[in-house]
Amino acid sequence: MRRSEFDEILLRNAQAKGADVREGCRVRDVQFDADGRGALVVGTHDDGTPFEGRARMVIDASGRDTVLARKFDTKRRNPHHNSSALYGHFTGARRHPGRDEGNITIFWFAHGWFWLIPLADGCTSVGAVVWPYYLKTRDKPLKEFFLDTIALCPALAERLQDAQLASDVEATGNFSYSSRQTHGPGYLMIGDAFAFIDPVFSSGVMLAMQGGFRRPTRSRPACANPRVRRPHCARSTAVCGTGRASSPRFIYRITHPVMRDMLMAPSNVFRVKEALLSMLAGDIYGKTPIWRSIRILKGIFYMLSLGNLRRSIAAARQRRFNITSDAGSDA
């Protein structure tokens, strides 16, 4: 489904449960009390009317706008990742038959990888995650550059042969980031407002939801009393840290030739593929015994990398160049 529809369902449910929802109002600043017991939220309505509201605790769920991380200058680009993305919606894209119709497809190509995500309303989201050096080669309008990029991947181009672009093409650069802290006196960051890794495993919504389930806002004493709030924040931060730490090691290696070979191979020794799928599906907080198989998967990766050392060294050098390459302003 579309993210906007999902967000609408969550918003209306919160409203039905008693939340005071203010729409059409953009937060411009948050001014925290010196003792950490509250804050003044300052905003502006769409018609220009100013808004001010008092809060015992501020939860920053502003997503990639990262309101508080920008305010405190704690937002940092991920030094281990440096990707850019081009994306748009298509109608008429060819889907898999039967029960597989809604499955997401990932395509690799020379400069990165593509996602193809079927949506329930008939549209299909298509995006290219590329290294900055490739984006810097753009010498034409973004739409034409995006379509030319799709043409570099024959398997994807075939799926889009009869499709029509149904939206503007958008681009974003250096989108992997995190804040140096998740909470402080009177505030808490949740979901993408704290960190964003990479869209390859579509884990952002899952991690944000888990953060919402485990945040101290569910406890009135935690909101009202800073002494109670701090340990609550620390525990929930540790939980979210588990989610943020689980996926990156695979994201950083998803374009490694050895990892590609492993993911494309039919073998499933020690149920490593099932464990990887379970982790990517968000089953990292329960009791499913996946971590032994995950460790074995990492061991297999390292052994195969050593077995083909020349290719691994070349891949490491290329990755180092890709990470340090600056995307500039071409996005």
- Provide the number of structural domains found in the chain: 3
Instruction: Give a yes or no: residue 97 inside a domain.
Output: yes
Is 292 within a domain?
A: yes
User: What is the CATH number for 136?
Assistant: 3.30.9.100
Average pLDDT over residues 209-228: 58
Residue 225 belongs to some domain of the structure: yes
Q: pLDDT: is 217 or 279 the higher one?
A: 279
**215, 240, 265 - which closes a domain:** 240
Clarify whether residues 265 and 308 are in a common domain: yes
Residue 160, in any domain of the structure: yes
- What contacts 193, CB < 8 A, 6 or more positions away? 60, 61, 62, 63, 65, 66, 67, 68, 69, 179
In this structure, are 139 and 165 located in the same domain? Answer: yes
Within a domain: residue 210? yes
Q: Which of 75-79, 159-163, 323-327 has the lowest mean pLDDT?
A: 323-327
Q: At what angle do helices 257-264 and 309-324 cross, to 10 degrees?
A: 110
Q: What's the token pair of residue 104? A: 């997401």
Q: Which of 146, 173, 200 delimits the end of a domain?
A: 173
Does residue 22 sit in the same domain as residue 99? no
The answer as to whether 30 is a domain residue is: yes
Q: Is the model's pTM score more than 0.75? A: no
pLDDT of residue 42: 96
What is the band of 328 on the pLDDT scale with cuts at 50, 70, 90?
A: very low
Angle, CA of 275, 78 and 103, to the nearest 5°:
40
Q: 15 is in which domain, residue-wise?
A: 3-58+181-240
- Which of the listed residues 133, 151, 173 is the one where a domain comes to its end? 173
- Mean pLDDT, residues 59-83 taken together: 84
